[in-house]
Chains A and B, each alone.
Chain A
Amino acid sequence: NAGVTQTPKFRVLKTGQSMTLLCAQDMNHEYMYWYRQDPGMGLRLIHYSVGEGTTAKGEVPDGYNVSRLKKQNFLLGLESAAPSQTSVYFCASSFWRGINYGYTFGSGTRLTVV
């Protein structure tokens, strides 16, 4: 049982390049999320999904796209990377039932855009 797995762990992009971050969970969680973490700030929600085939915008969705074609996978895409997207990206998942549902986070992807 691996929990939430993110790939890659590190990546350096040039401005304008594109890339996809992959998140996979093996806990049969309905909900999946992408966050970014910047120094001195709390995690901010980029996009989330409440089930296979669904996606929704979070607080900071501009410049990102997502897809949830399979329940266990949630992809985050950067079509044209900008230096402002330099950050650490975390994927998380959770069950939808109950008020006390816990979130399981991946170990993060450190992205640098130069």
Chain B
Amino acid sequence: KNQVEQSPQSLIILEGKNCTLQCNYTVSPFSNLRWYKQDTGRGPVSLTIMTFSENTKSNGRYTATLDADTKQSSLHITASQLSDSASYICVVSVRNGGTSYGKLTFGQGTILTVHP
């Protein structure tokens, strides 16, 4: 069964500190891995998308890494800001033969709270 597990479930950090969120997956055949940020009461917004051949991708203060061998990914947030308080969702896409639609499997998210 395709699964995406994220840890920790929740995290509290002080403004200005760094943090790392983890994602383990058992999705196969693997197509790509995405990290989304979801603010309270809003829809998810894409941060990064990585394919099998990419092992790191950055978007401002967000850096995602991917180890396709161990099926692990991490999202590192540098110099956190109050606006980083949100749920961060790891999403893995399945390669689906010759079609372009690859089913997404969503993790349950890590709730990050940044305190001043």
Q: Which residues of A are at the interface with B, using a C-beta cutoff of 8 A?
A: 4, 31, 40-45, 48, 50, 90, 92, 96-103, 105-108
A98: chain B residues at CB < 8 Å are: 100
Chain A interface main SS type: loop
> Interface size of B by Cβ–Cβ distance < 8 Å?
23
Give the complex CA separation of A72 and B113 in angstroms: 36
Instruction: Establish whether residues B101 and A31, one from each chain, have CB atoms under 8 Å apart when the complex forms.
Output: yes
Distance between A24 CB and nearest chain B CB, rounded to angstroms: 14
Asked if A108 and B108 sit within 8 Å, CB to CB, the answer is no
State the CA gap A48–B104 with chains docked (Å).
12
Given known contacts A99-B32, A105-B45, is B100 in contact with A42 (CB within 8 Å)?
Answer: no
- Chain B 42-80 interface 0/1 with A at a Cβ cutoff of 8 Å (1 = within): 111110010100000000000000000000000000000
Q: Determine whether the beta carbon of A107 is less than 8 Å from that of B43.
A: yes
Q: Which residue of B lies closest to A9 (CB)?
A: B41
Report B-chain residues with C-beta under 8 Å of the C-beta of A40.
Answer: 108
